[in-house]
Every structure is written in structure tokens, then in C-alpha cells.
Amino acid sequence: KDIVKAFEIAKSTIPNLKLRIAGSANSAYGESIIKMIKQSQFSNDITYLGRISEEEKQYEMKRSHIIGVTSEI
């Protein structure tokens, strides 16, 4: 959830910023991320990709300026 909050803070300073989130939504954590995206004032600049393949992951990482890895323990 912190990744969406951090994006919102950064977006106020960097207007052309975009966030792309990959991962399964088949958990309480994943569902809460989807909910936060929908509630965000910047939801149009956040793309939820769902579960992606290793090839897609490499593509996304190569085109990214910043990579955030989050998990819930």
C-alpha cells in the first residue's frame, strides 16, 4: 500500500510520473492495492498489470527509471 502513497507524494512534484504495478490480486493485500488505486486522485496514472511473465517483468524493468519491490509478511 505504501507504494501507492509514495507515488501520490512524488506525483505532486513530478507531474508526468506514471506507476505500473505487477502482481497477483488474489489476496487481501492485492485486493487492497486495487482498492487504493481506484481511490487515488492519480488513478489515471497508475496501471495495474496483474500477474506477468518473467519476459514481461524484464521488459517492464528495462523501461523503468525506478523499481520498487514490495511485499507483505
| C-alpha grid cell, residue 73 | 509478511
Q: What is the pLDDT of residues 3-49, one digit of tens each?
A: 999 999 999 999 999 999 998 888 888 889 999 999 999 999 999 99
| C-alpha grid cell, residue 17 | 510520473
Q: What is the pLDDT of residues 23-34, one digit of tens each?
A: 888 888 888 999
SS3 string of the chain?
CHHHHHHHHHHHHCCCCCEEEECCCCCHHHHHHHHHHHHCCCHHHEEEEECCCHHHHHHHHHCCCCCCCCCCC
Task: In whole angstroms, give the CA distance from residue 69 to residue 73.
Answer: 13
